[in-house]
């Protein structure tokens, strides 16, 4: 059934192109008409592929989540020492700062817009996936350490959003290294 594949492929393509839009304008600030216009389709078409705005947003969140985890699970090849792994994590954050900030904003919006149990569970699950990916890539086990690294990354992304010129990601990551590896 090639039709279904086409349909799903088209759907994903639309989702991908929504990502930046939602990150920039926010859930409430972005209208279905606007989305349609930016994607070059009518609102009718949007409703053909998605049941509604919340549905579209939720699917997009799921989509980013998958994309992100996939990318995060690959930044360090196995067998490297911790210091080197931390360096690679640092490179990853520096390179993906913009899109990770966007993803964070969307997660926070998701938290607000989908405040039911399912939404919360999805967010927890997502956080866990991130933590898991970091744990695996850094080859660390202590959940508090992972959580701390996670905090650190989230904070860097937040500062990056609020004051992009002032945040020196590299210098900051160095400090984490100190904490973990010792001096």
Partner DNA sequence: CATGAATGAGGGTTCATTCAT
Partner DNA sequence: TATGAATGAACCCTCATTCAT
Sites of contact with DNA (CB under 7 A): 1-7, 10, 30-34, 41-45, 47-49, 52-54
Rounded Cα distance, 163 and 61, in Å:
25
Instruction: Tell me the C-alpha distance between 26 and 109, whole Å.
Output: 7
**With binding defined as CB under 8 A, does residue 123 bind its own copies?**
yes
Tokens 């997009």 sit at which residue?
60
Q: Choose from its own copies, DNA, none: what does 112 bind? Cβ within 5-8 Å by kind.
A: its own copies
Q: Which stretch binds its own copies (CB under 8 A): 14-22, 53-61, 81-89, 175-183?
A: 175-183
Residue 20 beta carbon to its own copies: minimum distance, rounded to whole angstroms? 13
Contact 107, 61 (CB under 8 A): yes
Examine residue 148 and tell whether it contacts its own copies (CB under 8 A). Answer: yes
7 binds its own copies (CB under 8 A): no
The residues, any chain, with a CB within 8 Å of residue 80's CB and separated by 6 or more, are 88
Considering the complex, state which of residue 8 and residue 142 has its C-beta at the smaller distance from its own copies. 142
**Rounded Cα gap, residues 141 and 7, in angstroms:** 42
3 binds, among DNA, its own copies, none (CB under 5 to 8 A by kind): DNA
How large is the greatest C-alpha to C-alpha distance in the chain, in angstroms? 60
H-type helices in the chain, by residue range?
2-25, 32-39, 43-49, 53-72, 82-113, 117-138, 143-162, 169-181
Which residue among 78, 79, 118, 163 contacts its own copies (CB under 8 A)? 163
Q: What residues line the site for its own copies (CB under 8 A)?
A: 24-29, 104-105, 107-109, 111-113, 123-124, 127, 144-145, 147-148, 150-156, 158-159, 161-163, 166-168, 171-172, 174-176, 178-179, 182-183
């Amino acid at each position: 059934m090639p039709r279904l594949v086409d349909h799903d492929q088209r759907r994903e393509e639309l989702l991908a192109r929504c990502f930046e839009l939602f990150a920039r304008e926010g859930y409430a600030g972005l209208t279905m008409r606007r989305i349609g216009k930016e994607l070059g389709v009518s609102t009718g078409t949007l409703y053909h592929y998605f049941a509604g705005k919340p549905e579209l947003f939720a699917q997009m969140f799921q989509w980013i989540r998958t994309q992100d985890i996939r990318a995060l699970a690959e930044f360090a090849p196995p067998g490297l020492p911790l210091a080197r792994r931390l360096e690679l994590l640092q490179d990853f954050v520096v390179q993906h700062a913009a899109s990770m900030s966007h993803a964070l904003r969307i997660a926070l919006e998701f938290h607000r817009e989908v405040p039911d149990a399912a939404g919360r569970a999805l967010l927890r699950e997502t956080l866990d996936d991130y933590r898991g990916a970091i744990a695996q890539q850094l080859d660390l086990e202590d959940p508090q350490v992972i959580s701390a690294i996670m905090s650190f990354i989230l904070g860097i992304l937040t500062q990056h959003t609020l004051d992009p010129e002032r945040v020196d990601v590299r210098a900051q990551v160095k400090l984490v290294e100190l904490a973990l590896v010792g001096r």
